[in-house]
Amino acid sequence: MRIQSIAQEAIADSDDVLTIAIVTNVTSHCILARQLIDVLGKPPVHSDLEILGSDDTWTIVWSRPQLTLDAATAAINQALAPIIRETAR
């Protein structure tokens, strides 16, 4: 999976922004959703995450949590390629 594009738009009458990311080469939208929830939080409790798409191209949209464009890009990249932590032995 990879980010095709990511952008932010101002929400009218608000200081908040809407983040829109388009992800391609998605082999499993279920895995994508799980990884996004791990990074952005569970909707509707921690985020207002929406995932729309079909085949191998999916659009991810959220306004909560509020992140800068750099932080949003880092979060999506983390979701697409999660770091597997070693368990303590």
Strands in 2-10's sheet, in edge-to-edge order, are 2-10, 17-24, 57-62, 50-54
Copy the structure tokens of residue 48: 């207002």
For the whole model, what pTM was predicted? 0.84
**For residue 73, what is the DSSP state?**
H
State the pLDDT at residue 43: 87
Per residue in 28-81, pLDDT (tens digit) is 889 999 999 999 999 888 899 999 998 999 999 999 999 999 999 999 999 998
Integer Cα distance of 53 and 29 in angstroms: 9
